[in-house]
Amino acid sequence: RVAYIIKGCKFFGGILIVKITISEASKHVGKEVTIGAWLVNKRSSGKIAFLQLRDGSGFIQGVVVKAEVGEDIFKKAKALTQESSLYVTGTVQEDERSPFGYELTVTDVEVIHEAVDYPITPKEHGTEFLMDNRHLWLRSKRQHAVMKVRNEIIRATYEFFNHNGFTKVDPPILTGSAPEGTTELFHTKYFDEDAFLSQSGQLYMEAAAMALGKVFSFGPTFRAEKSKTRRHLIEFWMIEPEMAFYQFEDSLKVQEEYVSYVVQSVLENCKLELNVLGRDTSKLEQIKAPFPRITYDDALKFLHEKGFDDIQWGDDFGSPHETAIAESYDKPVFITHYPTSLKPFYMQPDPTNADVVLCADLIAPEGYGEIIGGSERIHDQELLAQRVAEHELDTETYKWYLELRKYGSVPHSGFGLGLERTVAWISGVEHVRETIPFPRLLNRLYP
């Protein structure tokens, strides 16, 4: 049969061949199609070659039988190199043994570009090597699965907040304020002024909540933290809802509903990906609201009983402490009412005990650590002004923020969910470096 192209359409033996993606294979069973793909791997004998193909939308096996395609095409298929780009033509077959359900009986292979000496081979590679090759590592099945889970979490986030009456608002990235303290800021010049890269959009989201009621943001966040742990990125993405007329407990309800919704969406829409990642999905199936709550004081008591005598009232919990607390539950757990001294200036004191604030950190199960930080915000103008002074913050910089309490102040609450830690937990990936396409880590700005 002769292959030819007229006006971008491929004809093969006089028949028009449709170009499809691998994810569309189910709609073309028994039909001859062309797929633009990369070669992941191949196996071949004297008579048959198996091509593992990927196109971003999925993975499929192409089977090339010498007796059917002839000497030339079979030779070409056998000589294909890893990550070469191809147009593969063939008939779609249903195949239960394939993890993706379909197979392609190949009739033709056209090489678009031959890849020579692709550095990431099927053997094991060290982390630094993979990180240096992140631009290529992203093509692997595992990284593909993590990015798909990440995308599903983002999709479900928009769906959840849009369905629940929230408006998406975009706070600025270049700011003059530092809601989470001044030690972890990326400094830059803003013409003649000083500016910082945003470490949280919260203060702006509070202004937005006074205009739109319930709002959420989703944007890049920067922390110049000199932490080299499996939970810390220098640049990460945060989802920050803020709700007018919501008190502390109202906000916890939104958090547990939101996290449950995201987990259940991933379970439903990322079955293949969770399978590729080897995720124990029975652990995720249990993630349904309500979530348990424990106060800081009770958590401290629990830790002392467990033999952690390195920590006193007023100390922050480190990751071993968080992990020990989380191990007692099979759902995420809220640790509430932390000492005022540990938390930022804007948090509302507990009306029954001013030494603690109406805040909660949500700790994921299985050792993945804190995924949410949130609180009720101070809505009394005088108290907020006092806190700004105590924290030695510049009153001119926070003038607008204080004015939110001058004109129709209302109780309000909000929180921030770290996307990458959430992706790590739901995917069952050890380190956050695999949960963002191009991680920014201490000592890593390449690629």
* Contact flag: residue 202 with ligand 4AD (CB under 6 A): yes
* Contact flag: residue 371 with ligand 4AD (CB under 6 A): yes
Choice between 62 and 428, CB closer to ligand 4AD: 428
What contacts 24+ positions apart, CB below 8 Å, involve 179-188? 179/203, 179/344, 179/346, 180/223, 180/344, 181/344, 184/223, 184/224, 184/225, 185/224, 186/222, 186/224
Determine which residue in the list 83, 103, 108, 180 makes contact with ligand 4AD, applying CB under 6 A: 180
* Contact flag: residue 370 with ligand 4AD (CB under 6 A): yes
Give the separation between CA 216 and CA 336, rounded to whole angstroms: 22
* Contact flag: residue 388 with ligand 4AD (CB under 6 A): no
Determine which residue in the list 32, 55, 240, 322 makes contact with ligand 4AD, applying CB under 6 A: 240
* Contact flag: residue 232 with ligand 4AD (CB under 6 A): yes
Residues 140-179 that bind ligand 4AD (CB under 6 A): 179
Instruction: Please work out, in degrees rounded to the nearest 5, the angle formed at the alpha carbon of residue 149 by the alpha carbons of 143 and 155.
Output: 140
Choice between 259 and 277, CB closer to ligand 4AD: 259
Stretch that binds ligand 4AD, among 67-75, 236-244, 330-338, 379-387 (CB under 6 A): 236-244
Q: In sequence order, what are the residues at sequence separation of 6 or more whose Cβ sits closer than 8 angstroms to the Cβ of residue 149?
A: 266, 270, 273, 274, 277, 423, 426, 427
Sequence length of the chain is 447
Give the separation between CA 78 and CA 311, rounded to whole angstroms: 63
Q: State yes or no: cis peptide before 171, omega within 30 of 0.
A: no
What contacts 24+ positions apart, CB below 8 Å, involve 297-306? 297/337, 297/356, 299/325, 299/335, 302/328
Which backbone phi and psi does 406 adopt, to 5 degrees?
-90, -30
Q: Tell which residue, 148, 411, 235, has the closest CA to residue 140.
A: 148
CB of 167 to ligand 4AD, least distance (A): 16
* Total number of residues that touch ligand 4AD (CB under 6 A): 23
* Contact flag: residue 372 with ligand 4AD (CB under 6 A): yes
CB of 435 to ligand 4AD, least distance (A): 9
* Contact flag: residue 236 with ligand 4AD (CB under 6 A): yes
Stretch that binds ligand 4AD, among 125-133, 244-252, 311-319, 369-377 (CB under 6 A): 369-377
Question: Mask: binding to ligand 4AD, 412-441, rule CB under 6 A, as x and -?
Answer: --xxx-x-xx----------x---------
Residues of the shown chain interacting with ligand 4AD in the complex, contacts defined by CB under 6 A: 179-180, 200, 202, 223, 225, 232-233, 236, 238, 240, 370-374, 414-416, 418, 420-421, 432
